[in-house]
């Protein structure tokens, strides 16, 4: 038996839609903190404790989406 690693392949319009959905989710979370009327966001740290912040960078860095393709879209935006 070979030692091949099985990977999920996503392509076509469905994959494109999921990537953009991940970008949209990250954008909504970060944009809510922007400007003088920016809203606070509650995050959970590594110990499970809540953190309240208006810092968009902190919000962006804390986001990990459950869907791997959506998460790729969010990660691409974070790296841009």
Q: What is the pLDDT of residue 76?
A: 96
- How far is residue 31's CA from residue 65's CA, in Å, rounded to a whole number? 17
How does residue 4 score in pLDDT terms, banded at 50, 70 and 90? Answer: confident
25-79 pLDDT, tens digit per residue, is: 999 999 999 998 999 999 998 899 999 999 999 999 999 999 999 999 999 999 9
Tokens in use for 39? Answer: 């809203």
Q: What is the pTM of this model?
A: 0.82
Q: What is the pLDDT of residue 15?
A: 93
| Count of other CB atoms within 10 angstroms of residue 40 | 11
């Amino acid at each position: 038996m070979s030692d091949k690693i099985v990977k999920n392949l996503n392509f076509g319009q469905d994959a494109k839609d999921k990537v953009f959905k991940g970008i949209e989710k990250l954008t909504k979370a970060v944009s809510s903190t922007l400007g003088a009327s920016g809203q606070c966001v509650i995050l959970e740290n590594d110990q499970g404790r809540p953190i309240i912040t208006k810092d968009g960078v902190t919000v962006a860095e804390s986001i990990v989406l459950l869907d791997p393709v959506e998460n790729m879209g969010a990660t691409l935006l974070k790296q841009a």
